[in-house]
Structure 1
């Protein structure tokens, strides 16, 4: 699921353009330097740049919007940190596609698929081309991570603020990697999570780098108090958890042209999302279990599984969890000692997640009706 940049004061228009310009300059400089090592290495940087261009920029918008809403004045540093989060996001997507063996991102061949096609076009056999493209994806993700670290750690701020940002980046990588590792283990059937563990993956894998860290980074840039940073961290945890739960529903029920990737891959890979964990405790599981986690899952079987899930109470239970998290965000914003501009900004993000939830609820209803 993607969110549009949250609405904020018109003064954000130029900083958002500055993020794009900075990313373009950083990646173009790296691509030019890579030319000395051959056209294939240069292509990796071009593909990183293409991956960056495809995003909605909502993570960088959260950094910039938080900084502004809290009265910050470090605009150049905010742009650099915001750009760093976009590169961090790109790195995670590249590695995530590799882990999940996905070849499509945002409706187009992803970096690994592009590198594989280039290799085969020059005469490579399928096996070596696949291995080479996977190596390219590992390296591309590593390179994007390094650039993110360079941008965030190189800001012209006080030593205390820089150290806080670097500590935050370290925490973000530690937590997100732990969530990804657990999610992969669950998908492979090495462990079967309970609902609490599945929710923790949502918090670790997505909430940390998409919401908690950008909110806290913006607060650090604005010189906010530790209490304000921790309040925003809690809000980010709730928003990120809700975001991922909605995304898991979209991954099963939304049309592929809506989500830009396969809507059967989660079922094929056997991902133990909250939706699946609820379904496993219900009679509907008898109609789902045989196809769940099958590497050769075909579309017809997946459609039948989707229809069965839509007719059960499982999607509604996930929906209820999301609405509870969003309601708690609103309560905290109403009672926390945050500036009004900050609570309004968080309210805009909350509204977008709720709109996405309403959208997927419609898709669930369509699947249920289609099943008769």
Structure 2
């Protein structure tokens, strides 16, 4: 999607922020130094989807990096925002491992136990470290935009995008937790709304619009991109839900069927509840945590309920709408190609 040189420039921008965070920690205690090292590890090695979208949208609207020296720092801000959300999400989900290794909370639990803390104390320190790490990353993302070498008008527009991304994502995360803990099942519409809000704006709409804004795109083009970015983000998250239930361990980055083991209230499950065979699905999900055989039984029950096919159809319809809307004359040809390419790549992830 972007040249290797662009990816290198994005990585260097992110690394510059991480160096600044580490440098600020030197005189603030060994614990804080350890925290900033953990932040660097949490940020390393990602796919860089969101900053890539900033750079790709900028290029699609004819932007020249030589005329916009802050392109890569703005792009990096969206990666730091993403990492902040991931770190906080792990605290919310009580997860101490990510992709097979301890996350920030997990690292600080180990640190606490090595220094004599009991299990409860280690958990308190682990959660505190992760929350503070996420706060640092949110601050650094805002700082990158505040210091961007752009006009006041563009900076204000970037902050509007960041503001919307944070508020909408926070609302989606809270709704997702509420849907999970309440004794009554949430309506399918509420679950789909939470799914959209958690991911679509900060992962697709905001980065795409940020790149367009930096490139000088007209308001009508940015508005069209915001709508299609939201659809792409929804489709992306719905595919993630399928991966969480049916994807391989390599695709999911954890044990196969992880969402089923955790009985998450995803759109897939919401659709299954509307089927005549919901009682069988519900019974299978109740024991899915017990092992691979039970996971496979839950997968079969979901297949037979029609929920998997229904969700796949919704994804296909959403991506079809995106490809159709990409013909909007408000969008340059290169931008239309980018939108269609993103739709194709999302479709390729479907398990």
TM-score by length of 2: 0.94
Select the residue among 331, 335, 338 that pairs with 2:331.
338
Partner of 2:63: 72
Between Structure 1 and Structure 2, how many residues are aligned? Answer: 348
Partners of 1:264 and 1:131 lie apart in 2 by 29
The answer for the alignment partner of 1:367 in structure 2 is none
RMSD: 1.8
Q: How far apart, in 1, do the equivalents of 2:29 and 2:179 lie? A: 39
Partner of 1:61: 52
Q: Counterparts of 1:243-322 in structure 2 under 5 Å?
A: 243-290=236-283, 292=285, 297-299=289-291, 300-322=293-315
1:89 aligns with 2:88: no
Deviations 1:183-232 (A, max 9, x none): 01011126632222222122211000000000110111011111111100
Deviating above 6 A after TM superposition, structure 1's stretches of 4 or more consecutive aligned residues are none
Distance in 1, matches of 2:80 and 2:227, equals 24
- Structure 1 stretch displaced more, 114-123 or 228-237: 114-123
Residues 123 and 174 from structure 1, CA distance in 2 versus in 1: closer, same or farther, beyond 3 angstroms?
same
Q: Do the aligned partners of residues 17 and 75 (structure 1) sit closer, same or farther apart at CA in structure 2, a change above 3 Å counting?
A: farther
Give the C-alpha shift of residue 38 in structure 1: 2.1
Alignment of 1:328-367 (within 5 A): 328-357=321-350, 360=351
Distance 1:43 1:167, change over 3 A: same
Stretch moving more, 123-132 or 301-310: 301-310
* Cα distance in 2 for residues equivalent to 1:156 and 1:120: 45
1:62-92 deviation line (CA, Å, top 9, x unaligned): 0001011101234421101100000000000
The match for 1:366 is none
- 1:42 pairs with one of 17, 20, 33: 33
In structure 2, relative to structure 1, the CA distance for the partners of 1:153 and 1:255 (3 Å cut) is: same
Q: Distance in 1 between matches of 2:274 and 2:243?
A: 21
Structure 1's unaligned 5+ residue stretches are 1-6, 361-372
Match of 1:195 in 2: 188
TM-score calculated relative to the size of structure 1: 0.89
Instruction: Name the CA shift for 1:22/1:293 in 2 (closer, same or farther; >3 Å).
Output: farther
Report if aligned partners of 2:85, 2:134 keep a CA contact under 8 Å in 1.
yes
Q: Give the match for residue 25 of structure 1.
A: 16
Name the structure 2 match of 1:237: 230
Alpha-carbon spacing, 1:203–1:274, altered in 2? closer, same or farther (3 Å): same
* Secondary structure, counterpart of 2:92 in structure 1: helix
Partners of 1:147 and 1:309 lie apart in 2 by 42
Q: Which moved more, 1:232-241 or 1:32-41?
A: 32-41
Q: Deviations over 1:316-348 (max 9, x none)?
A: 000000000100111011233211111111122
Distance (whole Å) between structure 2 residues aligned to residue 221 and residue 268 of structure 1: 43
Tell me by how many angstroms 1:257 deviates. 3.1
Q: Which residue of 2 aligns with 1:182?
A: 175
Deviation of residue 152 (structure 1)?
1.6
Aligned to 1:215: 208
For 1:47 and 1:188, the matched residues in 2 are separated by 30
Mark the runs of 5 or more structure 2 residues left unpaired by the alignment. Answer: none
